[in-house]
Chains A and B, each alone.
Chain A
Amino acid sequence: MSGEEEENAVELKIGDEFLKAKCLMNCEVSLIFEHKYEHLQQVSEDPMNQVSQVFEKSLQYVKRFSRYKNPDVVQQVREYPLSFFSFVRVYMPYDFDRILSRHQLTEFELCVLCNLCPKTAEEAVAMVPSLKTKGRAHSDEVIEKMLNDLSLVKRFE
């Protein structure tokens, strides 16, 4: 991001590297951390010792503010390889890719929407003002359709 342009997520000025980088939703962080915690429990006699406070408190936070809460997701996650170099969305990747391209969202906007779960178009625009800008000028109807699409995303089977 150039020095002259001030950062402002309201207008989606957040630096090119973040527009394309791996922004994570809280529910994805929750999966990663749960997985890590499970792994620690398997390899260590005392997993609590291994886990730092910031990790534990972050896990608490993301579990609380997660859009997609699936009680049996930890079971699913155990079957995933611990180490994968490029992050794979464990929720139906097809769904998110479709939502991103159909509504021309950036990853950043998608993550904020999934973290805050607005129920109406008005709420969504209050939380992510850039929805109405950046040449897309989404109508309320379109935004509501998008919110509906998000609510239908299923966990990767």
Chain B
Amino acid sequence: MFCLSELEDTVRVPPDLLKLPLEVAIKKVLQKLFLDKVLSIGLCVSIYDIKSAEGGFVLPGDGAPTYKVVFIIVVFRPFVGEVIAARFKESDSNGLRLTLGFFEDIYVPAPLIPRPNRCEPDPCNRNQMRWVWIFEEQEYIIDDSYQINFRVENISYPPVPTERAEDGAIDDDGLGPVSWWEGCSERNNEDDDT
């Protein structure tokens, strides 16, 4: 789910931004550093607010001032065991792939798809396999017609190169997907009840 998270970091404001109001300049630098990055606390989707900015000292040999900034960001942070609403993206014989729009690396491996089920070639898309859930003699095709609720089983972070030399309150500065495997607690309930 989405969370507000307070962070502290040392921010260098490059000279070309100094003509802007300080808060705007700092926000721009923070956006560049954090937006769409995976941190240990989650995927940063927005800089919410700047609580304080202190300092502004220019270090010797540098043309730019450095500030100690306390700020709040909005992160998306999945929890193991949390149920999240998503949409279908694609499927193959290994399982399903789901998407949230801003995040697309959600995988449901075949063993976690509700049973009984079967996998067959997709008549509308030759390259894809589709999954069909059989429940009380009714067949439900798993596709993008409905919202799919899934439970987070596992979160994996790819190895992350640490570009930044500073240690702030932030552990990781990562790019790249976080992939989750879920038990698909299948709930196709967009318009009707199942």
The distance in angstroms between the C-alpha atoms of A111 and B1, with both chains bound, is 8
Q: Kindly list chain A residues whose C-beta atoms are within 8 Å of the C-beta of B3.
A: 18, 21-24
A-B contact count (CB 8 A): 99
A155 to chain B, nearest CB (A): 19
A112 CB–B CB distance under 8 Å: yes
List the B residue with the shortest CB-CB distance to A56.
B102
A116 CB–B CB distance under 8 Å: yes
The distance in angstroms between the C-alpha atoms of A85 and B74, with both chains bound, is 13
Stretch at the interface among B59-67, B75-83, B118-126, B130-138: B75-83
11 further contact pairs, Cβ within 8 A, besides A7-B79, A32-B74, A60-B101: A8-B81, A9-B82, A11-B81, A24-B2, A24-B3, A52-B35, A54-B35, A54-B36, A58-B45, A58-B46, A58-B102
Most chain B CB neighbours (cut-off 10 Å) among A10, A57, A58: A58
Q: Are B81 and A10 in contact (CB under 8 A)?
A: yes
1/0 contact string of A32-70 vs chain B (CB within 8 Å): 110010000000000000001111011011100100000
With beta carbons under 8 angstroms apart, the residue of A115, A128, A129 that contacts B85 is: A115
Within 8 A of B (CB), among A98-133: 108, 111-112, 115-116, 119, 123, 126-129
List the B residue with the shortest CB-CB distance to A22.
B4
The 5 sampled A-B contact pairs (Cβ below 8 Å) are A9-B80, A54-B35, A83-B49, A112-B82, A116-B85
List the B residue with the shortest CB-CB distance to A29.
B2
B94 CB–A CB distance under 8 Å: no
List the B residue with the shortest CB-CB distance to A55.
B46
Q: Are A21 and B4 in contact (CB under 8 A)?
A: yes
Q: Kindly list chain B residues whose C-beta atoms are within 8 Å of the C-beta of A60.
A: 101-102
The distance in angstroms between the C-alpha atoms of A41 and B74, with both chains bound, is 20
Within 8 A of A (CB), among B80-134: 80-85, 100-102
The distance in angstroms between the C-alpha atoms of A11 and B80, with both chains bound, is 10
Q: Are B45 and A54 in contact (CB under 8 A)?
A: yes
**Contact size class for A?**
35 or more
B54 CB–A CB distance under 8 Å: no
The distance in angstroms between the C-alpha atoms of A53 and B102, with both chains bound, is 8
Q: Kindly list chain A residues whose C-beta atoms are within 8 Å of the C-beta of B149.
A: 116, 127
The distance in angstroms between the C-alpha atoms of A116 and B147, with both chains bound, is 11
Q: Across chains A and B, which 8 residue pairs bring their CB atoms closest together, nearest first?
A: A9-B81, A10-B81, A57-B102, A22-B4, A57-B101, A9-B79, A54-B36, A24-B2
1/0 contact string of B29-71 vs chain A (CB within 8 Å): 0010001100000010110110100000000000000000000
Q: Kindly list chain A residues whose C-beta atoms are within 8 Å of the C-beta of B35.
A: 52, 54-55
Q: Are A23 and B1 in contact (CB under 8 A)?
A: yes
B165 to chain A, nearest CB (A): 25
Q: Kindly list chain B residues whose C-beta atoms are within 8 Å of the C-beta of A87.
A: 4
B146 to chain A, nearest CB (A): 13
Q: Are B74 and A24 in contact (CB under 8 A)?
A: yes
Q: Are B51 and A85 in contact (CB under 8 A)?
A: yes
Q: Are B101 and A29 in contact (CB under 8 A)?
A: no
Q: Kindly list chain B residues whose C-beta atoms are within 8 Å of the C-beta of A65.
A: 85, 147
Q: Kindly list chain B residues whose C-beta atoms are within 8 Å of the C-beta of A57.
A: 101-102
B145 CB–A CB distance under 8 Å: no
